[in-house]
Structure 1
Amino acid sequence: MIHFLSIFCLLSSMKTPDHLLKPVDDAAEDDSVLHYTARANRDPVFLVPGLAASGLEYRKKTDSTYKVLWFSISHILPGNWARFVEMMNPIYDPKTDTYSNSPDYDIRPIDYGGMGGVVYLDKTLEWFTKTYENMVNALKEVGYEVKKDLFGVPWDFRTNTINTLEINGEYERFKQLIETSYAINRKPAVLIGHSCGCPFVQHFLLEYVKPEWVQKHIKTFCTFNGPFGGAIMAYHHLSCHAAWIIPVGASVFNKITQKLASIYWMLPNSQAYSPDQVIAEMKNSGEKITFATMNKTWTDTGRDWMAIAASKATSRMEKHNGHPGVDTHIFFSHGKKTASKIIFDDSKPKWWEAEAASVENGDGDGTVPYESLVVPRKWSVPSGKKLEFHEFNDLSHLSIIKDKKVIQELVNIVSRD
């Protein structure tokens, strides 16, 4: 009874702001899906989740079985939090720009290639933590079969930068999974990315595999609310304490968020921000922080390693932020209040260890600003390739992959009668 009441109280206290890492969406939004009949012609589909939307599991190296790390409600029950933070936090080496796990633990994505690590984060809280579930259900109705022509690509968002995806085997495993699908189906694949899953796929196509491999194995790339130009919300989480949906204090949870490798991918970059664009301001002094001076946020507050991580991540995001060389569909939504400037509370001696005084909003999907979502409009389209935009209004960052109208458009791209 005590255990049940603890969980009930935690769930009752959860807030659902339209937040950067938010794994669930507004309950009021209609996320039902249409019903389909089977279609004979189906392109193999790969689903790549966004930041914090992949299930992870762990084991001590002295143990033989894995347990759920991300996410289980048990981790935030009294007495469990410190160990959870220890397992979640990677070790960052600024000299090599690499992240590694604690030497005591093995951590890996759940059900790589299957759906267990991409449709929801906690089976006991499936109603609350579902992500790709509606899309998967629709694809199954069309006739897709898991690990035959429907594949999930969960990835470790804690430890992977664009750089480490190339050197730690993550991209090679993705490549081999696509080749396995091709051997089964004899058809090129459709790669679907949501949020950080978009640059994950984009850089894979542009930097890791050769163009001739892409032409043989990949038919289409579909992006959903991709942060191609970054997001002020990422800067917010990395600069000061910021609350999240998990019902623990902002000062506590930032011990995790500020060490997540892939949150640095989502920092503002030059694709969407001009050097003199103001992204933050001090409430008392009026000092303005621009995109060009963003790294001073960390160097001036004794967090040099964060400035290094930020610089490395944004430079890689900017390096090859262009058309991926295959037919591409950009799904994006806006009409939600989205952070455009952070107001820090410099009345406090260590403002970076406190929550922001306020947040000014502009247009976007609630997480990614409009200017970042439409960066692909600047891309140069290779001859013979498509770049099509699918624009939706008043859908938040995650609800775009749940919405029935969006899913219907996707189903018509990947399958035919």
Structure 2
Amino acid sequence: MNGIFIIMASIVSLAVAQQSPVLIIPGTGGNRLEARLDKSEVPHFYCSKKADWYDLWLDVKQLLPGAIDCWCENIKLLYDAETSTFSNNKGVETRVPCYGDVCGIEYLDPSLKIGDSAYFHDIIQAFADKGYVRGENIVSAPYDFRYSAHSNKDDYVNATMTLAEDLYEKTGQKVLWVSHSMGGLWSHYILSKADQAWKDKYIEAWVPVAPAYGGTANEMKLFASGNNEGIPGVSGKTVREEQRSYESNFWLLPSLYLWDENEVLVTTPSRSYTSKDFADFFVDIGFPDGKQIYEAMKNEVYGLEDPGLPTFVRYGVGQETPASYEYTKAGDWDNGLKQTNEDGDGTVNRRSLEAGLAMKWENADHKAFDGEDHTSVLKNKDLIAELLELANA
């Protein structure tokens, strides 16, 4: 009888050992960001000048009308045109918590465990139900989402590759690499540039969910008018300066590979702008630094090379997604806006989600989930079941 238990224990042990560890790369705004303040000036008397470490992102109370002015001032970046570098605003120190764990991506606002705040919870819990341990064999690589691969803040590329190596060494199994949204750009940047021998040794497969490979057309509105993301009582103009300050938003501009150079993205009474007119666009919206930032980045981080490993692209479709914008009043970027839509997940255009098809990636499988949007797809039961199967969980 004891022999049977020994054999069963060995089988169970082997099954657990064969499970792939999981590494998750979140999207923009998809992980917590902490700040510490020591400021000499603030935009309003009620904004704090000093504060010990607190959640700068996400704490929904900071996004309420009035309070959001303090938040914008604290989270925006400063750009130095002479050195072409970005830094925190004066008197603000930031850090990314929970690297190598999942506590920074499971719930974005730890006090709000519902809706979009429960970002990766469904996926993480599904793996936990199969015996995975948070921070052990299911981990994440959160980052300061205000920056792009051009800055590679905190040596994020090498740190994430090392995290994957550590998972492999700890478990003896190749890593299932999962990403969402802009995490797909970071993942593609890392994996397409990694040595093939490294990928063959450490990575089982990559599952980009709702990847913004080729950017999105709605970045044009973000830069021109600001995007209030549907926050009640907050205008696009309130958040425009903060959104323009993110280096990563330049990374999310429509790709030259996917948008034809004659395809109009923005039109005004005086002229139209296509993907070849980004430099002029930034000057005309009154943001000349944008031209310099874009020119510095465009030759480094916009490639769509074959990532060179098994890739399972999963995304929502059937959602009205911004395709182009018309501003009906000359010189007015805050009023008279008309929007034209196309298919996508409500945030990312379908052509961007399916860039692997357009670029003829050899080992990529694409599947669309009709009716799912950019974030709801993360809670899709069929997608979660696929992830578990790919990890042999």
TMscore range, shorter length: 0.7 to 0.9
Report the CA distance shift for 1:79/1:232 in structure 2 as closer, same or farther (over 3 A): closer
**Residue 184 of structure 2, aligned match among 195, 198, 212:** 198
Aligned counterpart, 2:308: 325
**Residue 158 of structure 2, aligned match among 159, 166, 172:** 172
**Within the alignment, does 1:222 sit opposite 2:207 as a pair?**
yes
TM alignment of 1:362-373, pairs within 5 A? 362-373=342-353
For 1:101-146, what per-residue CA distance to the aligned partner results, in whole angstroms no more than 9, with x for missing partners?
A: 1353321112111111111211222213221111111111122111
Distance 1:409 1:269 in 2: 29
Q: Is the 8 A contact 2:75 2:89 kept in 1?
A: no
Distance 2:99 2:111 in 1: 20
Paired residue secondary structure (1:376):
helix
Aligned counterpart, 1:6: none
After TM superposition, the score normalised by the length of structure 2 is 0.87
Distance 2:247 2:107 in 1: 21
Report the AA paired with residue 43 of structure 1.
Answer: S
Distance 1:70 1:317 in 2: 25
Higher relative contact order (CA 8 A, sep 6+): 1
- Tell me the CA shift for residue 286 of structure 1: 6.5
Distance 1:77 1:131 in 2: 21
- Tell me the CA shift for residue 359 of structure 1: 0.7
**Within the alignment, does 1:344 sit opposite 2:327 as a pair?**
yes
Aligned counterpart, 1:375: 355
Report the CA distance shift for 1:127/1:175 in structure 2 as closer, same or farther (over 3 A): same
Q: Is the 8 A contact 1:342 1:356 kept in 2?
A: no
**Within the alignment, does 1:140 sit opposite 2:128 as a pair?**
yes
Identify the range of structure 1 (191-200 vs 310-319) with the bigger mean alpha-carbon deviation: 310-319
Report the AA paired with residue 315 of structure 1.
Answer: N
Aligned counterpart, 1:395: 372
Aligned counterpart, 1:309: 293
- Tell me the CA shift for residue 313 of structure 1: 3.8
Paired residue secondary structure (2:129):
helix
Aligned counterpart, 1:244: 229
Aligned counterpart, 2:385: 408
Aligned counterpart, 2:29: 52
Q: Is the 8 A contact 2:157 2:190 kept in 1?
A: yes
After TM superposition, the score normalised by the length of structure 1 is 0.82
Report the CA distance shift for 1:298/1:127 in structure 2 as closer, same or farther (over 3 A): same
Aligned counterpart, 1:234: 219
Distance 1:169 1:69 in 2: 22
Aligned counterpart, 1:105: 92
Computing the radius of gyration over CA atoms, which structure comes out larger, 1 or 2? 2
Distance 1:195 1:73 in 2: 21
Q: Is the 8 A contact 2:24 2:139 kept in 1?
A: yes
Report the CA distance shift for 1:239/1:168 in structure 2 as closer, same or farther (over 3 A): same
For 1:142-182, what per-residue CA distance to the aligned partner results, in whole angstroms no more than 9, with x for missing partners?
A: 22111211001211111x221111x6412222122222212
Aligned counterpart, 2:271: 287
Paired residue secondary structure (1:333):
strand
For 1:342-383, what per-residue CA distance to the aligned partner results, in whole angstroms no more than 9, with x for missing partners?
A: 111325xx412x14511111111111111111110133546x
Q: Is the 8 A contact 1:162 1:313 kept in 2?
A: no
Q: Is the 8 A contact 2:20 2:173 kept in 1?
A: yes
- Which runs of no fewer than 5 residues in structure 2 stay unpaired? 1-12, 40-49
Report the CA distance shift for 1:139/1:225 in structure 2 as closer, same or farther (over 3 A): same
Aligned-CA RMSD value: 2.4
Report the AA paired with residue 230 of structure 1.
Answer: G
In percent, how many aligned pairs have the same letter? 22
**Residue 144 of structure 2, aligned match among 142, 151, 156:** 156
- Tell me the CA shift for residue 276 of structure 1: 0.4
For 1:39-62, what per-residue CA distance to the aligned partner results, in whole angstroms no more than 9, with x for missing partners?
A: 633111111111111111112479
